[in-house]
Amino acid sequence: MISGLVQILLFQSLGELVSKFLLPTLPGPVIGLVLLVLWLVLRKGINSDLAMVADGFSQYLGLLFVPAAVGVVLFLPQLQANALAIISALIGSVILTIASSAFVARLLSKKESHE
């Protein structure tokens, strides 16, 4: 279990270093996650220690939404004043996400059928 936690912290640290010195516009944890995924793809699998730590973290991911909910309540007057714009942006982004996902799925399914 310690090995899995060290792996996660190592890749987050690498992501922070890359963010600090090479790509300051991207957040370090995002870069670290991409590096971790690339490393796992190269290894062609996840070891049991890393899987155990990841399963443990995923059980408590809901707690990360508590600060966001507090922020929503804090800015409720601004949200109410801009409700139409926010709802329009949410609906538009959902429609674009579904359409682009369908487009990619169609492209990938055509590519598979030709092979």
* Rounded distance between C-alpha atoms, residue 83 and residue 78, angstroms: 8
Collapsing DSSP to helix, strand or coil, 17 comes out as helix
**Confidence at 2, pLDDT banded by 50, 70, 90:** confident
Stretch (H or E) spanning 11: helix 2-21
Predicted TM-score (pTM) of the model is 0.57
> Average pLDDT in the 27-46 region?
89
Report the range of poorest mean pLDDT among 9-13, 65-69, 97-101, 105-109. 65-69
| Nearest partner of 6 among 63, 67, 47, 62, judged by Cα | 47
In the chain, % of residues over pLDDT 70: 96
> Average pLDDT in the 37-47 region?
88
